[in-house]
A and B are shown apart, each in its own frame.
Chain A
Amino acid sequence: MSATTTSFYRVGKDISDSVADTSLPVEEIWADRKFKAKLVNPSNRRKLTVIIVGTGLAGGAAAASLGEAGYNVENFCYQDSPRRAHSIAAQGGINAAKNYRNDNDSVHRLFYDTVKGGDYRSRETNVHRLAEVSANIIDQCVAQGVPFARDYGGLLDTRSFGGVQVQRTFYARGQTGQQLLIGAYQALERQVEAGTVNMHTRHEMLELIVVGGRARGIVTRDMVSGAIKSWIGDAVVLATGGYGNVFFLSTNAMGCNNTANMRAHRKGAYFGNPCYTQIHPTCIPVHGDTQSKLTLMSESLRNDGRIWVPKDPADATKDPRQIPEEDRDYYLERIYPSFGNLVPRDIASRQAKYRCDEGLGVGPAVAEIDPDGTERQVRRGVYLDFTDAIARMGKAAVASKYGNLFDMYAQITGENPYETPMRIYPAVHYTMGGLWVDYDLSSNIPGLYVVGEANFSDHGANRLGASALMQGLGDGYFVLPNTINDYLADALSFPKVDASSPEVVEAEQGVQQRISDLLAVQGTRTVDSFHKELGSIMWEYCGMERTQAGLIEAIGKIRALRQQFWSDVKVTGVNEDFNQTLERAGRVVDFFDLGELMCIDALHRRESCGGHFRAESQTPDGEALRDDENFLYVGAWEFGGDGQTPILHKEPLIYKAIELKQRSYK
């Protein structure tokens, strides 16, 4: 290992999950844990308060379930209603090992597919439990009235998804996420009415309160009045989603942010595998500098669409229908003859990037800054062509299969995809990394639990399609409500904390100080201009392909940009008001720190695995090359202090039920 690399971090002690009893066969561990976890008497539950941040599938399900159990729940979201959390945008479906198709599916197969799909970088025990509870999720959602697709016999329909060979994906047209979230939201509102859950909308968590080593509360800002307030509880649950917006452009909602996680990280919570991000290949390309976010289209399009670029860069602006067959490069079919356009997400994404880097991209040219600082115009798009499919199946059949996606494309681009090929480009979609948790979903700070995309736990280095919804609901409905009791059972004897406790006062003052610092700069540049610049650094150096030199370069650039931000940012208005500029400024501050940590994690992991592709670690034919000898572990990062290097703790991954294998798609 070179000195330049190690100067960015220190290595601390190895860690491990001490909760799951791994001496048992993997299929017996969850039942064993549920039996051994301490319980809380129903009459004591009403004396205990759980703070839950986030109302998506994980947070909403957890808040509803803990409310039903009889705990007092204080639930927070930054949106105007809990129903708007970004889980709502998931399109494809939710996996469950129901085996309704009689196609050899089982809990063990879902477990196996998820571990393999994660490129052997997830924890076996957690993934097996996820597969175990998957079937319960479908039962629960159906009972709530979630309108899953049904066949004419009135039973649930399923489809195949994400490169697995069984049909285990339940779906609700192209809006499964919305329907599942509305189910959780309705259960949640029922508890609001019952008085077990207090809902705080338009509230943003800005600090974690730790007293005597335990998470005891949070500090929030009321986004309407600007009021800073502390909330004290017996446990804190973060269900705050992923951090794709560190790239500025992503398929995340505009408000998605990582402030809650970074605040907890700064208070001692380890951050697991921050460099693992998923880039989705079939998104609508960027139209220009004012682009605010990216829109994903279901990757099912690759089942019938053919992906190509012109062989001659001069053809980039030509009407694609006028480009003859011999002048087109169907590059996925050429490079991967057996999988063709159906190669996994990471490969399809990377190959599209290579074509555009080579100057073969199509669509509008967008300004980019080269590593040497020069600006160039690059076309970031490849064609996804349905001409052959329409000729083979007929326009009506294509419309019935993909009509809603074609309509969405037409509305956004103004082009008719039935007549001219669609343009697509990869976009940041999901982050597998997140706060480190043990088998109980507890972080290393006692009393701080992390659920859903916000934790690192189940997807390893790559998430399979239709597994995010499964994990969010699994954590919220079935895992957390069965593990958090073990902690809360002792909570009645915890020392009393109130608004005058020094740790609470200090946390509040820290929040107020940060806000006044932001408002005091009064520079010349907008918050968004900094966020966009950070995003382009991340995308260029910590995106689809990463190199040692590039990552070191990126860390330097981020540090310089952070410094410039604190001397030149312009935040308008005051704190005591509805102030969206101030909200965004605070989030960008935390994205700087996160971006740097992601680059350091990517730098230290000198292997390619899942969504993390290091150019130095590839097979002779250009595929990702894992290094199990040196990197078969979770990288859990401890905050080392401002201006100090972070500390790496390794959690070795032990595979007992599944044999390690190298992926191959040739």
Chain B
Amino acid sequence: MSENLMSLTLRIWRQPNAATAGKISEYKLAGVSSDMSFLEMLDMLNEELTVKGEEPVAFDYDCREGICGMCGIVINGVPHGRGNSAVATTTCQLHMRNFKDGDVITIEPWRATPFPIIKDLVVDRRAFDKIIASGGYISVNTGAAPEAHANAVSKLKADRAFDAATCVGCGACVAACPNHSGMLFVAAKITHLAMLPQGQPERPLRIKTMIGTHDELGFAGCQNAGECAAVCPKEIPLDTIAQLNRDLIASLFNRAGKSTAAE
């Protein structure tokens, strides 16, 4: 595809730190190539700001291949700029050919109470790690594993586990949700591990501890808006939340696992 150069107006959320109020600042940027990625466009702005002696815009990024889950910006009101892209995408895989000369682009951080802003477009998503730590795993110490072929897994279930396991933990689901629920993130892990025979012993306990932690950290419940699945860069299906609800109800009738009251 041939390269076009464009001039843009960028309206970017600037906030020095969590304790200071932020505001939108406007920047003009010319000479943006349609072949650039969205984050390369921000790199270009930052190079110009640095030369002028101004503070560059802070934003998170790492692999720039759409797999590490580090990047995440709300673009024109939609996480990862999904509103400007024909396909599911992370911010780093959004390219400037989806924009045109003269566009005004509004760029903001994830906004959700459990994800406090660190600076500009950077937020703290450690809440997701805490949810995983509370039960999003199969307990098996190194060296204690049986032979890999000890358990066969039907291809149907293996594929469904895989589809759920593709979650990159970016948090777009939370940013898109009107309630700031983290249910799609939790549901992806619940579904991944619930489909596998190795995941069964801890299944009733896992859902209780993960949902408990999710709620404690300030994420709200799901009201089926479906915005999460619409912006998910990995297209985690909304029906994983149905799986989560089924497992949650089943767990209430199952006394397996350790009881927190007994401790």
A residues with a Cβ closer than 8 A to B are 61, 64-65, 68, 79-84, 86, 88-89, 98, 100, 136, 138-140, 142-145, 147, 149-156, 172-173, 175, 177-179, 182, 185-187, 189-190, 192-193, 199, 201, 224, 251, 253-255, 287-288, 290-293, 295, 364, 407-408, 411-415, 477-478, 481, 524, 526, 528-529, 570, 572-573, 577-578, 580-581
| Cβ contact within 8 Å between B64 and A293 | yes
Residue from the list A61, A86, A578 in contact with B62, Cβ < 8 A: A86
Q: Report how far A330 CA is from B249 CA in the complex, Å.
A: 62
| Cβ contact within 8 Å between B36 and A88 | no
Q: Which residue of B lies closest to A295 (CB)?
A: B65
29 A-B pairs with C-beta separation under 8 A? A65-B141, A65-B142, A68-B142, A81-B69, A81-B126, A81-B129, A89-B65, A140-B142, A147-B161, A152-B155, A154-B158, A182-B165, A187-B137, A201-B126, A201-B129, A253-B65, A254-B61, A288-B36, A292-B37, A295-B64, A295-B65, A411-B89, A413-B1, A477-B143, A526-B50, A570-B51, A572-B56, A577-B16, A581-B56
Q: Which of B62, B97, B133 has the most CB of A within 10 A?
A: B62
Residue from the list A68, A100, A147, A193 in contact with B165, Cβ < 8 A: A147
* 3 nearest A-B pairs in the assembled complex, by CB-CB distance: A154-B152, A186-B137, A143-B145
Q: Which residue of B lies closest to A570 (CB)?
A: B50
Q: Report how far A528 CA is from B43 CA in the complex, Å.
A: 9
Q: Which residue of B lies closest to A189 (CB)?
A: B133
| Cβ contact within 8 Å between B198 and A287 | no
Known: A528-B43, A578-B17. A84 touches B129 (CB 8 A): no
Q: Report how far A151 CA is from B152 CA in the complex, Å.
A: 10
Q: Report how far A369 CA is from B55 CA in the complex, Å.
A: 30
Q: Which residue of B lies closest to A178 (CB)?
A: B67
Q: Report how far A187 CA is from B198 CA in the complex, Å.
A: 14
| Cβ contact within 8 Å between A414 and B147 | no
Q: Report how far A148 CA is from B92 CA in the complex, Å.
A: 27
A511 to chain B, nearest CB (A): 22
Residue from the list B1, B35, B43, B142 in contact with A61, Cβ < 8 A: B142
B226 to chain A, nearest CB (A): 24
B162 at the binding interface (Cβ < 8 Å)? yes
Residue from the list B35, B62, B168 in contact with A364, Cβ < 8 A: B35
Q: Cβ of A412: which chain B residues have Cβ within 8 Å of it? A: 37, 93, 95
B residues with a Cβ closer than 8 A to A are 1, 3, 16-17, 33-37, 39-40, 43-44, 47, 49-51, 53-56, 58, 60-70, 87, 89, 93, 95, 97, 118-119, 122, 124-126, 128-129, 132-134, 136-149, 151-155, 158, 161-162, 165-166, 168-169, 192-193, 196, 198-199
| Cβ contact within 8 Å between B132 and A86 | no
Q: Report how far A572 CA is from B65 CA in the complex, Å.
A: 28
Q: Cβ of B132: which chain A residues have Cβ within 8 Å of it? A: 185-186, 189
Q: Cβ of B95: which chain A residues have Cβ within 8 Å of it? A: 411-412, 414
| Cβ contact within 8 Å between B54 and A572 | yes
B112 to chain A, nearest CB (A): 15
Q: Report how far A252 CA is from B62 CA in the complex, Å.
A: 9
| Cβ contact within 8 Å between B129 and A189 | yes
Q: Report how far A124 CA is from B258 CA in the complex, Å.
A: 48
Q: Cβ of B147: which chain A residues have Cβ within 8 Å of it? A: 139
| Cβ contact within 8 Å between A154 and B155 | yes
B225 to chain A, nearest CB (A): 26
Q: Report how far A199 CA is from B40 CA in the complex, Å.
A: 31
Contacts beyond the supplied A139-B147, A145-B192: 11 A-B pairs with Cβ under 8 Å: A88-B68, A98-B148, A144-B198, A145-B198, A154-B153, A154-B155, A189-B136, A253-B64, A292-B37, A293-B64, A411-B87
Known: A142-B148, A153-B152, A572-B55. A292 touches B142 (CB 8 A): no
| Cβ contact within 8 Å between B125 and A81 | yes
A655 to chain B, nearest CB (A): 31
| Cβ contact within 8 Å between B55 and A84 | no
| Cβ contact within 8 Å between B63 and A139 | no
Q: Report how far A526 CA is from B56 CA in the complex, Å.
A: 11
Residue from the list B35, B37, B70 in contact with A84, Cβ < 8 A: B70
Q: Cβ of B137: which chain A residues have Cβ within 8 Å of it? A: 144-145, 186-187, 189-190
Q: Which residue of A lies closest to B194 (CB)?
A: A145
